[in-house]
């Protein structure tokens, strides 16, 4: 069974730039969720994708956007980077069903530093 993989593992960007983070979901999972984890905090829900459509969004501005592809992989895009965007970005895959939603399984994250 292939787990959740994220790329890149580390990234350094300058304020105002744009970044794309990538995630391959665990085999058999149809849902991808993205979380932002600042130092000393718990993960904060950004959004979730199911069947290639956004299926819920947390309290993040529109410059955070995403995509899910037919193979269930996903991208997180952040435009106009700000210093406060520096964090660990976590992708989690799961299965959404009519009567059961599986727990989230996280990838190893992308650590983004904005200077």
Partner 1 sequence: RKEVEQDPGPFNVPEGATVAFNCTYSNSASQSFFWYRQDCRKEPKLLMSVYSSGNEDGRFTAQLNRASQYISLLIRDSKLSDSATYLCAGSLGGGNKLTFGTGTQLKVEL
Beta bridge partners of 53: 50
- Is the separation of the CB atoms in 20 and 77 below 8 Å? yes
Q: Under the criterion CB under 8 A, does residue 104 sit at the interface with partner 1?
A: yes
**Alpha carbon of 62 to those of 69, 76, 85, 92: distances in Å?**
20, 12, 13, 20
Q: Which of 31, 76, 85, 87 binds partner 1 (CB under 8 A)?
A: 31
Q: Tell me the closest approach of the beta carbon of residue 79 to partner 1, in angstroms.
A: 23
Q: Tell me the closest approach of the beta carbon of residue 31 to partner 1, in angstroms.
A: 7
For binding to partner 1 (CB under 8 A), which residues are involved? 31, 33, 35, 40-45, 48, 55-56, 88, 90, 94, 96, 101-109, 111
């Amino acid at each position: 069974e292939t787990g959740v993989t994220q790329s890149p593992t580390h990234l350094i960007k300058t304020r105002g730039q744009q970044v794309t983070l990538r995630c391959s979901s665990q085999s058999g999972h149809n849902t991808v969720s993205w979380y932002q984890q600042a130092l000393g905090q718990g993960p904060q829900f950004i959004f979730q994708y199911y069947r290639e459509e956004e299926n819920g969004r947390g309290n993040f501005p529109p410059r955070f956007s995403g995509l899910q592809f037919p193979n269930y992989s996903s991208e997180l895009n952040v435009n106009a980077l700000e210093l406060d965007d520096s964090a660990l970005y976590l992708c989690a895959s799961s299965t959404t069903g009519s009567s059961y939603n599986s727990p989230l399984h996280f990838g190893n994250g992308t650590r983004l530093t904005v200077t």
